[in-house]
A = this chain, B = another copy of it.
Amino acid sequence: MDKVIMMTLLYDFYGPLLTERQQKFIELYYENDYSLGEIAENYGVSRQAVHDTLKRAENILANYENKLGLIDKFLMQRNKLAEVARLLEDPREPSSQQLARARGILQELLEMDRG
């Protein structure tokens, strides 16, 4: 997966566990496309300090995902949901086989006990 997409997911799930400054730097760098130099200038710190803060924040986020695996599960569920959506796709009516398959996947998703 693309690093920016992965960081966005990580930040979206676990961002509130970072310090305020870590959150701000991640947002500026990954969501608002600021350069290290620009963030450094805005915050009156060195480019290296921005780099280190970002690296540390990235490690913290990756570490939460390694422990909890919630993004992994989320992406897996999303794939299954997308399959259900495809089975029911407009404009035709689903065949009874497609309907049965969709019901089966939904059942499977409902039986999972976490996100």
Asked if A90 contacts B68 (CB within 8 A), the reply is: no
Cα–Cα, bound, A60→B12 (Å): 20
What are the residues of chain B within 8 A of A17 when measuring CB–CB?
64, 67-68
Cα–Cα, bound, A70→B99 (Å): 30
Residue from B64, B73, B103 within 8 A of A90 (CB atoms)? B103
A77 at the interface (CB under 8 A from B): yes
A96 at the interface (CB under 8 A from B): yes
Residues of A within 8 A of B (CB): 9, 12-14, 16-17, 64, 67-68, 70-71, 73-74, 77-78, 81-82, 84-85, 88-90, 93-94, 96, 99, 102-103, 106-107, 109-110, 113-115
